[in-house]
Amino acid sequence: KKEQWMKKIRALRSQLKEMKENKTIEVSTYRKLYRKAKGGEYRSRAHLIAHVEQLKAREA
């Protein structure tokens, strides 16, 4: 179980880091999403990306 969580959280964190570096998300958003990922809110990388797209749609 721990190994599964580690594999998932590493993927999510690397995705978040990439998004932050590409200026897809701001640092404040990055911190919020990072904490949510740690809390287990996102099932997968795709789920995280879909959530970010929803946030962007709301802002626009």
- For residue 53, what are the domain limits? 2-59
Q: For the whole model, what pTM was predicted?
A: 0.88
pLDDT band for position 55 (cuts 50, 70, 90): confident
Residue 27 in contact with residue 20, Cβ under 8 Å? yes
> Model confidence over 17-49: pLDDT tens digits?
999 999 888 999 999 999 999 999 999 999 999
CATH number, domain at 55? 1.10.1200.60
Q: How many domains does the chain have?
A: 1
Q: What is the rounded CA–CA span in Å between residue 56 and residue 60?
A: 6
| Stretch 44-57: mean pLDDT | 92
Count the Cβ atoms, other than its own, within 10 Å of residue 54.
10
